[in-house]
Structure 1
Amino acid sequence: MESFEQAAPASHRPHPSAEALRRSVDAHFPRVIEQLAALVNIRGIAWEAFDPNELDRSAEAVAQLIRDGGIEDVRILRVDNDGVPGGPAVVARRPAAEGRPTVLLYAHHDVQPPGDPDLWESDPFTAVERNGRLYGRGAADDKAGIMAHVGALRSLTEVLGSDFGVGVTLFIEGEEEAGSPTFRTFLETHRDLLTADVIVVADSSNWKVGVPALTTSLRGLVDGTIEVQVLDHAVHSGMFGGPVLDAPTLLARLIATFHDDAGDVCIPGLLGADAASVDYDEPDYRADASVLDGVRLAGTGSIASRLWHKPALSIIGMDIPSVALSSNTLLPRATAKFSLRLAPGQDPEEAMRAVRKHVEADPPFGARVVFTEGETGSPFSTDTSEPASQLALASLEEAWGVPAVEAGMGGSIPFIADLTELFPAAQILITGVEDPDSRAHSANESLHLDEFRKAVLAEALLLARINDGGLDGPDISRRE
């Protein structure tokens, strides 16, 4: 990602406490990493196949870290969704002084399953430092987000004193990697505890090592399954093959209609635009995405726009016999699960209807198609002219020493839509602790430690600027 256009970053005079905060963050950083490593060692996975006691242990460890940081009102809460208990969330509150704003700091303490242990260079649940990076499941996603909040508050308290005026609420979720099934219910149940003027979601990525980013847009998401049926039951491929095509073949033909020859999604009714203000160099993208030599990239327009502002449709699973279990049989039915990322501005329900209409309109060879809707999540975009975004851009620039990029993200964070709907007055900031080589959800997940140090400082600076009344009209001037 070597080349990008400067995205009109905000410019402030240096914050008067900047150097003191930098010294404090540096002094406490070894302890922050030690505490992060201890969190990584806990196998807190919010999936039914894993030990729920480890998830409870993870929540207790986070709660104790926050208590040790000087916040007394710390609770572990969970809600039920249709009788199913949700993951344990940690909510901690430090009330605002009269007339001062409140900032909600979000992260999540649950992690992805480790996957194939043979792919890891070290035990996924033993934090190991190598070449300036901390390796382990959750080291980046998202236990680093927790420690960014804890470390920033620790330094802010040390520099400004324990009586600073801005209110702080920490909301550390315990089921994000399982799809946040009780998130909406949790927000509705505990709305009074979570109401804030600014919400900081520390669960994204920076542009590259050395260049910070504020995530200003997210793609939405819809998914579902498509089943193709051609026979009442399986039959011998030698005796009956030829006049009828098997279900996997017809399913493949149907899937092939989702993209045009250039690789753009061509389902009518889906939005897309070539609107990115920065670019992502093709060699960097190919390296970051591990694209094999000779494989052509799909789609048209800038790579950043293809990632952030256009739909992307993937087939993420298929139900057909494996090669090991295959036989000379015409298969009567086959099912695929699709995952469709939506451009900002796209209504998820309209997108789901568009996919249904497309697959049902002209089934290959008249096959029977059964479309089953899955999950939906709305896209997100933010107005970076709002005071909180300006303060965040200024704080990132001061911490890194270079202007921050206003970047989209190709992924989805569906719960952002719930935050937007239930807290419409709050300004939402999506910040990052990861970099393109963090490999979240993959083997050898890691955190770049020097970048993480800057992320802690940037959040401390942001809180200091808000504490100084920055939301009421800071001295902001756009750099020409």
Structure 2
Amino acid sequence: MASEQTPDDAVTAAAAARIPSALADLGALVRIPSVAFPGFDASEVGRTAQAVAQLAEDTGVFDEVSIRHATIPGTDEVGMPAVLARRAARNGRPTILLYAHHDVQPVGDEALWETPPFEPTVRGGRLYGRGAADDKAGIMAHIGAIRALVDAVGPDFDLGLSLFIEGEEEAGSRSFAQFLSDNADDLRADVIVVADSTNWDASTPALTVSLRGNARFTLTVKTLDHASHSGMFGGAVPDAMMATVTLLSTLWDANGSVAVEGLVAHDAPTPEHSEQTLRSEAGLPDGVTPIGTGSILGRLWNKPSLTVTGIDAPTVKNASNTLNPEVSVVVSARIAPGQSAADAYAAIEAHLRAHAPWGAQLTFTDIDLGDGFLVDTGGWAVAEAREALSEGYGVPPVDLGVGGSIPFISDLVREFPEAQILVTGVEDPHARAHSPNESLHLDTFRHAMTSEALLLARLNRRGA
């Protein structure tokens, strides 16, 4: 005698049936070059917002779907469009808010892409394209999960459901805090799912339980009032490049560990992670050694890091025999979970000022700070999510720390202190988000969408 189908079996089957349409809609979103950075066509971000709003409307479950903006604090500038949809809870059920973002990183050097960045291409079990993983796949995991829930239980379910798809996450979420304040009543939820992180590997799910904070700034080093002949004055006069290289070298010790007094590490255990795995995931070639000390994941999740991500100086092509009067660099710091970004930035600035060589003049501009995040894993929503991930992937989830930052989560915590926040994602370690040849592992997406559909179904039954 055949066993009777369970409610979760129905959801799993519905999700499987919805995967092809979800991937087709993902491909359509990838084709829109929705870069929210200054200097790019903002109308493309508006076009993606319209497309996402239509996808939400077409689910047929929301009481209202709208495209909204907020003003960037301290300016008269309006932020990029976000999609907000809401369905009220019924019969005592909880409300869940699903977050993702529809803007993407610039493509960088297009010559490094093996296929056009805005033409979705499938090869080797992966979907390639800018935003295919970060984070348009997050959008479609949400939409696909909602579709599967409707197919399995019908459109008249009791779960409260909100959808918030931001349009400027990659560009710094400058209007995010104001958007939360302006729309607090429509965004308030018992559980918030942020689908913008990664998994342990392509077949093992993860809940992100810690994120490093960030402090990004531009440092300008000046040593001369004007450029001078390097033959006439070199050897007696320090130029800005010499001072900048000397100053930046004080940020790390001989092992490559951060050497800034006042930056702290977070004390937390980490799983085993081999150097071979690190080399594979990061693209570290033979002969180049890892930096830092301690466990590999401890370095990535729990310790600070400092990276120079950009420099303004004469190019090799335009090099001349002159002493540079001024050099600017962008420094990106990742802050250990638990330390405030403001305290960390103050420590970095104090270090640089104290170590400025030869009286070099330092200027700090474009300062952008975001706090890290530590999850309370004792809540009922975490337990529900773990069960859903176990069922959707077929293996238990791993508690994951992430070296990257999602600064707006601290805004969510501040605005909605009672909400339980779950940080999930559709990426795997080989997704190459932000890099050329970004891609989505198709099986990971299938499992992620199924898991989210199961989570929605579990919450829809909660309290019954």
TM tier, smaller: over 0.9
Say whether the 8 Å CA contact 2:210–2:400 is kept in structure 1.
Answer: yes
Give the aligned partner of residue 351 of structure 1.
344
Give yes or no for the alignment of 1:287 onto 2:287.
no
Q: Which residue of 2 aligns with 1:19?
A: 9
8 Å Cα contact 1:276-1:309 kept in structure 2: no
Preserved CA contact (<8 Å) 1:274 1:301:
no
Distance in 2 of aligned mates of 1:442 and 1:181: 22
Using structure 2 for the length normalisation, give the TM-score: 0.95
Shift of 1:231: 2.2
Cα distance between partner residues in 1 of 2:228 and 2:429: 49
2:436 to 440, 443, 447: 443
Answer yes or no: is the 8 Å Cα contact 1:276–1:302 preserved in 2: no
**Which residue in the other structure is 1:269 paired with?**
262
Q: Offset at 1:16?
A: 4.1
Letter in 1 for 2:149: L
- Mean Cα deviation higher: 414-423 or 40-49: 40-49
Question: Take 1:424 and 1:322, find their aligned partners in 2: how far apart are those partners?
Answer: 49
- More deviation in 338-347 or 320-329? 320-329
1:196 to 181, 184, 189: 189
Task: Tell me what 1:476 maps to.
Answer: none
Give structure 2 stretches of 5+ with no counterpart. Answer: none
How many residues are paired up? 457
Report deviation, 1:317: 1.4
| Amino acid corresponding to residue 38 of structure 1 in structure 2 | A
- Counterpart check, 1:34 vs 2:21: no
Kindly provide the amino acid, as one letter, of the partner of residue 416 in structure 2: F
2:216 matched residue in structure 1: 223
In 1, the alpha carbon distance for the partners of 2:348 and 2:407 equals 19
Q: Residues 351-390 of structure 1 correspond to what in structure 2 (within 5 A)?
A: 351-372=344-365, 374-390=367-383
Task: Tell me which residue corresponds to 1:63.
Answer: 53
Residue 177 of structure 1: SS of its match in structure 2?
A: coil
Amino acid at match of 2:57: R
Separation (CA, whole Å) in 1 of partners of 2:434 and 2:66: 28
Separation of aligned partners in 1, 2:344 and 2:51: 41
- Residue 219 of structure 1 contacts residue 341 of structure 1 at CA under 8 Å; is this kept in 2? yes
Q: Does 1:260 align with 2:253?
A: yes
Aligned residue in 2 for 1:205: 198
Q: Is the 8 A contact 2:117 2:128 kept in 1?
A: yes
> 1:78 maps to what in 2?
69
Number of the residue aligned with 2:310:
317
Secondary structure of the 1:55 match is helix
Partner of 2:418: 425
Question: Where does residue 475 of structure 1 map in the other structure?
Answer: none
Aligned-pair CA distance for 1:320: 1.5
- 1:49 Cα offset (Å): 2.1
Alignment partners' CA distance in 2, 1:154 and 1:65 = 10
SS in 1 for 2:80: coil
What is the alpha-carbon distance in structure 1 between the residues aligned to residue 140 and residue 366 of structure 2? Answer: 38
> Following the alignment from structure 2 to structure 1, what is the Cα–Cα distance between the partners of residues 449 and 355?
54
Q: Secondary structure at the match of 2:268?
A: coil
- Is the CA contact 2:266–2:337 (under 8 Å) kept in the aligned structure 1? no
Find the counterpart in structure 2 of residue 178 from structure 1.
171
Which residue in the other structure is 2:33 paired with?
43
* 2:234 aligned partner: 241
Distance 1:408 1:387 in 2: 20
Partner of 2:86: 93
Q: Which amino acid aligns with 2:437?
A: N
2:448 to 451, 455, 463: 455
Equivalent position SS for 2:426:
strand
Cα RMSD of the aligned pairs, angstroms, is 1.6
1:260-294 per-position Cα deviation (integer Å, ceiling 9, x unaligned): 11111111111114523313221111111111221
CA–CA separation in structure 2 for the residues paired with 1:140 and 1:448? 8
Which residue of structure 2 aligns with residue 300 of structure 1? 293
User: How much does 1:160 deviate?
Assistant: 1.9
- Residue 418 of structure 1: how far off its partner (Å): 0.4
Letter paired with 1:312: S
Does residue 328 (structure 1) correspond to residue 321 (structure 2)? The answer is yes
Retained in 2: the 8 A contact 1:352–1:373? Answer: no
TM-score (norm 1): 0.92
The unaligned stretches of length 5 or more in structure 1 are 1-14, 473-480
Instruction: Give the conservation status (yes or no) of the 8 Å contact 1:211–1:403.
Output: yes
Q: Would the aligned equivalents of 1:344 and 1:381 in 2 still touch at CA under 8 Å?
A: yes
Match of 1:11 in 2: none
Deviation at 1:158, TM superposition (A): 1.6
Q: Quick one: distance in 1 between partners of 2:43 and 2:236?
A: 56
- Given that 1:140 and 1:433 are in contact with CA atoms closer than 8 Å, whether structure 2 keeps it comes out as yes
| 3-state SS in 2 of match to 1:434 | coil
Matches of residues 114-193 of structure 1 in structure 2 within 5 Å? 114-193=107-186
CA–CA separation in structure 2 for the residues paired with 1:66 and 1:371: 43
CA distance in 1, matches of 2:403, 2:79: 27
Give per-residue Cα distances to partners, 1:208-253, cap 9 Å, x unaligned: 0111111111100012222222222221111111122222112111
Contact in 2 for aligned 1:55/1:87 (Cα 8 Å):
yes
Aligned AA (2:24): E
Amino acid at match of 2:58: D
Contact map agreement 2:211 2:402 (CA 8 A) in 1: yes
CA distance in 1, matches of 2:47, 2:364: 41
Q: How far apart are residue 395 of structure 1 and its match?
A: 1.1
Deviates more, 1:206-215 or 1:243-252: 243-252
The worse-fitting range, judged by mean Cα deviation, of 38-47 and 274-283 is 274-283
Give yes or no for contact 1:230–1:332 (8 Å, CA) kept in 2: yes
Q: Is the 8 A contact 1:71 1:92 kept in 2?
A: no
Structure 1 Cα separation of the partners of residues 291 and 381 of structure 2: 36
Are 2:396 and 1:403 equivalent residues in the alignment?
A: yes
Deviation of the 1:48 alpha carbon: 3.0
CA distance in 2, matches of 1:112, 1:335: 23
Structure 2 vs 1, CA of residues 224 and 51 (structure 1 numbering), >3 Å: closer, same or farther?
closer
What is the identity percentage for the equivalent residue pairs of Structure 1 and Structure 2? 52
TM-aligned CA deviation for residue 203 of structure 1: 0.7
